[in-house]
Structure 1
Amino acid sequence: MLTVHQFPCLSDNYGYLLHDTDSHETIAIDTPDAAEYLRQADLKGWRITQIWNTHWHPDHAGGNEAIKAATGCSITGPAEIEGKFPIDRIVSHGDTALIGGEAAQVVDVSGHTNGHIAYHLPQAGLAFVGDAVFALGCGRMFEGQPKQFWDSLSRIKAWPPETLLYCAHEYTASNARFALHADPDNAALQAYSDEIAAKRAKGEWTVPTTLKRELATNPFLRADDPALMAKWGGSAPYETFAALRAAKDNF
């Protein structure tokens, strides 16, 4: 049985430890803050046996060396990690990563960076998506191109709607403000935004989210919606996505 331990770290990151109660394996999903990951594992009585990186940014792979030194764990991630932070096994789209008897599917979700991957565990109904998609948002397009990023989001859109999306940052309140600007007539989005505001007022987390909810409310996943295409322009969804992403960058 898999369990996810979530905790805040740095200024707005979430850390995740994925633990298998049968094999006693524990995976650090990304490594923004090595000391906090090690502390949280100790509090749970777990030993980190693997690291799964989603992309190369320091707030996702910067703790690799320290955690490996403390635990002897193995490190899996995309090729873009190599030469920047320690890595033992390079994976790409279509590969799998194992925890106990369960396989995570490695999925290309590039766009935020050119090698960004996600780990989708279909049996458990969850995915670790890094900075590819957020609650009501998506990552800034630092390295990729609009069609590339839209194709990545389309792969996420194809997962079962009940999939829990564990994204890496608490950006939801600011994402909601832009989403309402982008899609003001979306009643489901307005209700979601109100819920987010109430949660944040109480200091509660808004992550994880469900794919079903994001499909109904996240403008970046809805760039193929005819109403949004008409409002934001573009003859293809990736062009609408590009317009939305540019607008968010300057919002």
Structure 2
Amino acid sequence: MTLDLVTLPALSDNYTFLLHDAKSGATAAIDVPEAGPLDAALTERGWTLSEIWLTHHHDDHIQGVEALLAGHPAKVTGALADKHRLPPLDRAVSEGDSFDFGGEEVHVLDVSGHTVGHIAFHLPGAGIAFTGDSLMALGCGRVFEGTMEQMWNSLQKFLSLDPGTTICSGHEYTQKNADFALTIEPDSSALKSRYDAIAAARARGEPTVPSKLSDELATNPFLRAADEPVRRSLGMMDAPAAEVFAEIRRRKDAF
């Protein structure tokens, strides 16, 4: 199945997404930092919004929902665990739940850590995952509500996905994430190559989101806490992977 994926910048550094199935006409918006970019994109393409999927409760991911619904009535999906601090939900979901979108199965992953109740939406048939502020391009979200171990365990769920999966994350943080990643693996040729590509894309004003999971596996230090080069760089060869991850996250918080 081929779905149309549209990536739209919003606010100062957020991304929002439209997913469209031409056969059924189903169209989903994933996170709504503001209504304007989505409204314009829907009008331009002649698509009718049918669904809104929310990854977590932070304002910069949900504050445009009410305005978008005013012009585009749609079914809202979000985490049952976050129901009390999300816009009104038509469908409340949890880890292991799935639902249909245009004939494509959408799997729900609990990826708590950045917030408790943060979820991701994975469409294995289409090879797309909407990860919000959990797994990000060359990074991960700050651990605001959960624990470091919880965040590490959440990130492990992405390791089982097809490496070709397109990772649709919530922010244009990639350049700074790349600067930091080089402090962890300064000798990585894969990271240096990606760093150059990111710098060139940003110089052209191009987005660095979405990214490929294969690139994250090769260069994202937050996914690589169990890997020998990262452990060696940090002098933590014998430490549990969750502790290595926590050290990387603490360093990034202070970077």
TM-score by length of 1: 0.96
Report matched runs for 1:237-248 at 5 Å: 237-248=241-252
Q: SS of 2:19's equivalent?
A: strand
Instruction: Give ranges in structure 2 of 5+ residues lacking alignment.
Output: none
Q: Is 1:46 aligned with 2:50?
A: no
Q: Is 1:10 aligned with 2:11?
A: yes
Cα distance in 1 between the residues matched to 2:140 and 2:226: 15
Cα distance in 2 between the residues matched to 1:83 and 1:196: 35
Instruction: Tell me the amino acid that sits aligned with residue 246 of structure 1.
Output: R
Larger mean CA deviation between 120-129 and 232-241 belongs to 232-241
Report matched runs for 1:29-178 at 5 Å: 29-79=30-80, 80-178=82-180
Cα distance in 2 between the residues matched to 1:150 and 1:77: 22
Identity level (%): 48
1:206 Cα offset (Å):
1.0
Instruction: Give ranges in structure 1 of 5+ residues lacking alignment.
Output: none
Cα distance in 1 between the residues matched to 2:85 and 2:195: 41
Per-residue deviation, residues 52-89 of structure 1 (Å, max 9, x unmatched)? 00111111111222222322211001131434422221
Query: Which residue of structure 2 lines up, in the alignment, with residue 191 of structure 1?
Result: 193
Larger mean CA deviation between 4-13 and 35-44 belongs to 35-44
The question of whether the paired residues in 1 share the 8 Å contact of 2:131 and 2:167 is answered with: yes
The question of whether the paired residues in 2 share the 8 Å contact of 1:55 and 1:81 is answered with: no
Instruction: Tell me the amino acid that sits aligned with residue 124 of structure 1.
Output: A
Per-residue deviation, residues 144-203 of structure 1 (Å, max 9, x unmatched)? 111111111110111011111011111110000000011112110011101111111111
User: CA-atom RMSD, angstroms?
Assistant: 1.2
Per-residue deviation, residues 63-116 of structure 1 (Å, max 9, x unmatched)? 222222322211001131434422221101111132111111001111111111
Q: SS of 1:37's equivalent?
A: helix
1:26 Cα offset (Å):
0.6
The question of whether the paired residues in 2 share the 8 Å contact of 1:68 and 1:74 is answered with: no
Cα distance in 2 between the residues matched to 1:148 and 1:10: 29
Q: SS of 1:77's equivalent?
A: strand
> How many residues are matched?
251
Larger mean CA deviation between 53-62 and 228-237 belongs to 228-237
Report matched runs for 1:192-231 at 5 Å: 192-231=194-233
Superposed structure 1 runs of 4+ greater than 4 Å apart: none
Cα distance in 1 between the residues matched to 2:41 and 2:233: 46
Instruction: Tell me the amino acid that sits aligned with residue 176 of structure 2.
Output: S
Cα distance in 1 between the residues matched to 2:70 and 2:206: 33
